[in-house]
């Protein structure tokens, strides 16, 4: 019984590089982002991991990361489910703005609250709580059954959709999640118990 769940934030995107709020805007990976996704595939291959199914978002930076990882582990044709439930948090009116310009306009503290707090919505956008309200049910209904059936499942998604998922998996509070940062292209390997609790977690940094 593998019961393994691998979470990977997409590689660096064009707007990560430009320091712009991205959210649901559909931007591509940079060359560095492609290299990070390939490196994630190599790390997972070195672990001997073989996936039964892959899940990704409706956004191309996550989809390309997913495909590059699958190519890297020699499973380029694996069934991959795309769903916008796994999309990045919707950054609303902040989408497309430069993060440093936003700090100058609204202050460091307000921007940090918008980016990292649990339940404060950025203007016109989703809080992490809102994001979790779509990610967690999707995990429970569509994804977790594959893991509990003994499978090995890849999820290539986004900084905040994965923060919401990890918050629930790790049982973090709204205060604890504020300090959580996910690196681009860094695989996080969970092994679950039969009762769906977490048996182990390893970050392949
Ligand atoms: O949508 C974005 O801008 C990034 O992917 C995540 O941004 P954050 O680190 O500001 O949450």
Atom of ligand 1 nearest to the CA of 181: 9
9 lines ligand 1 (CB under 6 A): no
Counted domains in the chain: 1
Q: Is 0.90 exceeded by the ipTM?
A: yes
Q: Is the pTM of this model over 0.95?
A: yes
Beta strands in 41-177 (DSSP E): 53-56, 80-82, 152-157
Q: Which of 200, 182, 168, 187 is nearest to 68 (CA)?
A: 187
Give the range of the structural domain holding residue 15, as residue numbers without chain letter: 4-203
DSSP helix/strand/coil, 7: strand
115 lines ligand 1 (CB under 6 A): yes
- The confidence score (pLDDT) of residue 23 equals 98
Instruction: Please state the rounded mean pLDDT for residues 178-195.
Output: 97
167 close to 161: Cβ distance less than 8 angstroms: no
Residues 6+ apart with CB under 8 A from 91: 21, 22, 23, 24, 122, 125, 126
Active-site annotation holds for 141? no
pLDDT in tens, 32-42: 999 999 999 99
CATH code for position 88? 3.40.50.1240
Q: Return the structure tokens found at 96.
A: 């497309």
Q: How confident is the model at residue 1 (pLDDT cuts 50, 70, 90)?
A: confident
> Which residue in the list 36, 88, 126, 146 is annotated as catalytic?
88
User: Does 141 appear as a known binding residue?
Assistant: no
Tell me how crowded residue 181 is: count the other CB atoms within 10 A of its CB.
8
- The confidence score (pLDDT) of residue 134 equals 98
User: Does 25 appear as a known binding residue?
Assistant: no
What is the spatial distance between Cα 8 and Cα 58, in angstroms, rounded to a whole number?
A: 15
Residue 13, phi-psi category: left (phi > 0), alpha (psi -120 to 50), beta (remainder): beta
């Amino acid at each position: 019984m593998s019961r393994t769940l691998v979470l990977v934030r997409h590689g660096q995107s064009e707007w990560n590089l430009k320091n712009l709020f991205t959210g649901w805007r559909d931007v591509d990976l940079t060359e560095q982002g492609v290299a990070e996704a390939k490196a994630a595939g190599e790390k997972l291959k070195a672990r001997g991991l073989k996936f039964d199914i892959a899940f990704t978002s409706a956004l191309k930076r996550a989809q390309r990361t997913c495909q590059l990882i699958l190519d890297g582990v020699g499973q380029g044709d694996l069934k991959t489910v795309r769903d916008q439930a796994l999309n990045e948090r919707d950054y609303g009116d902040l989408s497309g703005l430069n993060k440093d310009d936003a700090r100058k306009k609204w202050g460091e503290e307000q921007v940090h609250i918008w980016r990292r707090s649990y339940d404060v919505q950025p203007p016109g956008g989703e809080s992490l709580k809102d994001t979790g309200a779509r990610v967690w049910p999707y995990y429970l209904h569509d994804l977790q059954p594959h893991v509990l059936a003994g499978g090995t499942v890849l999820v290539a998604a986004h900084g905040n959709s994965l923060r919401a998922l990890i918050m629930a998996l790790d049982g973090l509070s709204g205060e604890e999640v504020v300090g959580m940062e996910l690196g681009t292209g860094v695989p996080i390997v969970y092994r679950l118990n039969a009762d769906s609790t977490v048996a182990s977690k390893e970050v392949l940094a």
